[in-house]
Amino acid sequence: MRTLILHPEYEGEHYAWRMGDKVISTNRDLIFCQAEAGTYHLQLEIHNDYPFYQIKHNTTIVVWEEQVAYSPYISRVLEYNPAPGQFINTMPQYEEGDTYATMLQKVEESIAGTNRSLISLGAWGGYVTFAFDHSVVNTPKQDDFLIEGNSFYASATSKGGSSEPGIVTVSIDINQNGLPDDPFYQLAGSEYTNPNTLHHYSLTYYRTPSTHTPQPDKKNSITDSTYIRWTDNQNQAGYLHKNTFHTQEYFPQWLTDSALTFTGSRLPDNAYDPNGKGAYWIQQPFDYGYADCHPNDSIARCSFDIEWAVTDNGQPIHLPCVDFVRVYTGVFQQCGWTGEISTEISQARDLNISD
């Protein structure tokens, strides 16, 4: 459960990595990661068409069991960059003088290990990136890790209720520096091919000027309907509202930026007002593949398979393991007095490791 990158210095036009009779990769570099201890025999074939030459190289990798058992839970939180939202600066709590490093530590204390305090990612695009104390292995034909949130069904007969889907992306530490600066790949959930899903979406939130005059909408329990201005790459613009129930600042107060920009996929709206009066909003969960979308006891629907990974252009890509997991709010929708949809998470664990 550790990533090992094998890089042949000898160049050729074609590469084939074999384990026994099976070709496990045709890339120049091999990402090697195994869940079981043992001795693994590999053969690398390099050949060139013209002028023709062929090279074969055998190598043996011994994988041994760790001396201290790995934890199935989050070990480190590496990034916390939420979008503005009604729970920002309270989940976790911002205190005067807190810096980015301070807030990152508070997030880690909330969700690392067996801790299960909720953190909010704010409106669309806000994200958190975390890692385990090992690489999460892509085990064939089964889910690999689970993420918990605070979603719930309205009743035993209806799945509608509170569902704030978060998109999950994963990355391998290719450069082996321990930082999430290598490419991330989205795990394609049920709405990835939905024609109403916007890929390569970008949205910018602007800090509210100190001279701003609030525009209340008392009928809908909104204290400021022009609170935080936003623009996107679809030539749309608008405002995040501020509601009666959350009076603190919604823009992350530990940051000095005047604007925050996020990019990714935007899922279709999933909330609706059944009676049209704004008194009751229902958020319908998507089928699978999103954090904070189904209740935590729906383990299968809160679990993720690394085999769902796709490239930026939607092509499947096989990742033998992952070192970093990033979750961001996937829906951009405001639901009257209940506020914006914002993904919350409380814990994650590797399903390949028993508790």
* Domain positions in the chain: 4-63, 76-350
> CA-CA distance, 307 to 321, in Å (whole number)?
10
pLDDT digits 0-9 by tens, 17-65: 999 999 999 999 999 999 999 999 999 999 999 889 899 999 999 999 9
Confidence of residue 349 (pLDDT cuts 50, 70, 90): very high
> CA-CA distance, 286 to 284, in Å (whole number)?
7
Sequence-distant (6+) residues with CB within 8 A of 135 are 1, 2, 3, 33, 172, 321, 322, 323
Contact in structure between 329 and 121 (CB atoms under 8 Å): yes
- For the four alpha carbons of 147, 150, 153 and 156, in that order, the dihedral sign comes to positive
Q: What is the pLDDT of residue 156?
A: 65
Q: Quick one: tokens of 293? A: 């979308």
Residue 310 CB-half CA count within 13 A: 16
Confidence of residue 344 (pLDDT cuts 50, 70, 90): very high
Mode of pairing for the β-strands spanning 158-162 and 152-155? antiparallel
Contact in structure between 282 and 160 (CB atoms under 8 Å): yes
Confidence of residue 194 (pLDDT cuts 50, 70, 90): very high
- φ, ψ (nearest 5 deg) of residue 213: -105, 120
Question: What's the Cα-to-Cα distance from 158 to each of 153, 284, 335, 345, rounded to whole Å?
Answer: 6, 9, 19, 22
Lowest mean pLDDT among 210-219, 238-247, 271-280, 322-331: 271-280
Question: To which H or E segment does residue 79 belong?
Answer: strand 76-81
> CA-CA distance, 120 to 250, in Å (whole number)?
11
Give the closest residue to 324 by CA, choosing from 75, 113, 83, 70. 75
- The residue behind tokens 């026994």 is 20
Peptide bond into 274 cis (omega under 30): no
Contact in structure between 92 and 110 (CB atoms under 8 Å): yes
Q: What is the pLDDT of residue 41?
A: 97
> CA-CA distance, 100 to 156, in Å (whole number)?
41
**What is the mean predicted confidence (pLDDT) over 163-170?**
98
> CA-CA distance, 170 to 305, in Å (whole number)?
11
Confidence of residue 84 (pLDDT cuts 50, 70, 90): very high
Work out the mean pLDDT of the chain and round it to a whole number.
96
Q: What is the pLDDT of residue 154?
A: 85
Amino acid in position 296: N
4-63 CATH pick, 2.40.320.10, 2.60.40.10, 3.30.750.24, 3.40.630.30: 2.60.40.10
Amino acid in position 314: G
pLDDT digits 0-9 by tens, 114-141: 999 999 999 999 999 999 999 999 999 9
Amino acid in position 283: Q
Phi-psi map region of 17: left, alpha, beta (phi>0 left; psi -120 to 50 alpha): beta
Sequence-distant (6+) residues with CB within 8 A of 260 are 81, 83, 84, 204, 205, 251, 252
Q: Quick one: tokens of 298? A: 């729906």
Amino acid in position 348: A
Q: What is the pLDDT of residue 337?
A: 92
Q: Quick one: tokens of 79? A: 């990034």
**What is the mean predicted confidence (pLDDT) over 56-76?**
95
> CA-CA distance, 83 to 77, in Å (whole number)?
17
